[in-house]
Amino acid sequence: MSSGKRTGVFVCHCGNNIAATVDVVKVAQEMAGEEGVVCTKDYVYMCSDPGQKAVIEAIKENRLDSVVVTCCSPNLHEKTFRDNAKAAGLNSFTCEIANIREQCSWVHKDRGVATAKAIKISRSAVRRVGRNQALEPIAVGVTRRVLVIGGGIAGIQASLDLANAGLDVVLVEKQATLGGHMIQLSETFPTLDCSQCILSPKMVEVSRHPKITLMTYSEVQEVSGYVGNFKARILRKPTFVDPETCKLCDDCSQVCPVVVPNEYELGLTARRAIYIPFAQAMPASYTLDESACLGLNPIVCGKCKDVCEAGAINYDMRPRSEIVEVGAVVVATGFDLYGQDNLGEYGHGKYEDVLDGLQFERLCSASGPTKGKVLRPSDHSEPKDVVFIQCAGSRDPAQHCAWCSKICCMYTAKHASLYKHHVPDGRAWVFYIDIRSGGKGYEEFVQRTMENDEAIYLRGRVSRLYRENGKIRVLGTDTLSGQNVEIDADMVVLALAMQPSTGTAEAAKVLKIGRDKDGFLAEAHPKLKPVESVTAGIFLAGTAQGPKDIPETVAQASAAAAKVIGLLSQPQLSHAPTVARVRKAHCTGCEMCVDACPYDAIHLANGKAVVNDVLCEGCGACSATCLRAAIEVINATPLQMNEMIEAVLNF
Partner 1 sequence: MSAQTPYEPKIVAFLCKWCSSAGSDLAGVSRIQYPANATPITVACSGGVSPQFVLSAFHKGADGVLVSGCHIGDCHYMEGNFHARRKLYLVKELLEFTGVEPDRFRMSWVSAAEGAKFAQVVRDFVEDLRPLGPQDKLKAERP
Q: Does 591 bind partner 1 (CB under 8 A)?
A: no
CA torsion angle 435 439 442 444 (round to 10):
100
Site for partner 1 in 121-150 (CB under 8 A): 121, 124
For residues 494 and 392, the answer to whether their CB atoms sit within 8 Å is yes
Total residues contacting partner 1 by CB under 8 A comes to 52
Contact residue for partner 1 among 33, 318, 566, 651 (CB under 8 A): 651
Q: Which is nearer to partner 1, 107 or 300 (CB)?
A: 107
Kindly state the helix (H) or strand (E) to which residue 307 belongs, with its residue range: helix 303-307
Q: Does 540 bind partner 1 (CB under 8 A)?
A: no
Q: Does 625 bind partner 1 (CB under 8 A)?
A: yes
Nearest-approach distance from CB 61 to partner 1, in angstroms? 30
Q: Which is nearer to partner 1, 478 or 613 (CB)?
A: 613
Q: Does 108 bind partner 1 (CB under 8 A)?
A: yes
- How far is Cα 391 from Cα 431, in angstroms, rounded to an integer? 9
Question: Cβ of 1: how many Cβ atoms within 10 Å?
Answer: 15
Nearest-approach distance from CB 83 to partner 1, in angstroms? 19
Nearest-approach distance from CB 109 to partner 1, in angstroms? 6
Q: Does 26 bind partner 1 (CB under 8 A)?
A: no
Q: Does 614 bind partner 1 (CB under 8 A)?
A: no
Query: How is 372-416 classified by DSSP, letter by letter?
Result: T----TTT-PPPSEEEEEEEESTT-TTTS--S--SSHHHHHHHHH
Q: Which is nearer to partner 1, 366 or 629 (CB)?
A: 629
Main-chain dihedrals φ then ψ at residue 182, nearest 5 degrees: -60, -35
Q: Which is nearer to partner 1, 260 or 596 (CB)?
A: 596
- How far is Cα 173 from Cα 255, in angstroms, rounded to an integer? 28
Segment lying near partner 1 (by CB under 8 A), choices 94-102, 246-254, 274-282, 351-359: 94-102
For residues 533 and 514, the answer to whether their CB atoms sit within 8 Å is yes
Q: Does 613 bind partner 1 (CB under 8 A)?
A: no
Beta strands in 506-569 (DSSP E): 538-540
Please state the separation of Cα 185 from the chain's center in Å. 22
Contact residue for partner 1 among 517, 571, 606, 607 (CB under 8 A): 517
- How far is Cα 620 from Cα 6, in angstroms, rounded to an integer? 28
- How far is Cα 529 from Cα 556, in angstroms, rounded to an integer? 11
- How far is Cα 360 from Cα 185, in angstroms, rounded to an integer? 9
Query: How is 470-495 classified by DSSP, letter by letter?
Result: TEEEEEEEETTTTEEEEEEESEEEEE
What mask of x and - would describe binding to partner 1 in positions 519 to 538, judged by CB under 8 A?
---x-----------xx---
Q: Which is nearer to partner 1, 512 or 603 (CB)?
A: 512
Length of the chain: 651
Contact residue for partner 1 among 75, 143, 269, 378 (CB under 8 A): 75
Contact residue for partner 1 among 3, 29, 91, 103 (CB under 8 A): 103
What is the binding site for partner 1 (CB under 8 A)? 73-75, 99, 101-104, 106-110, 113-114, 116-117, 120-121, 124, 509, 512, 514-517, 522, 534-535, 596, 598-599, 617-621, 623-625, 633, 636, 638, 641-642, 644-646, 648-651
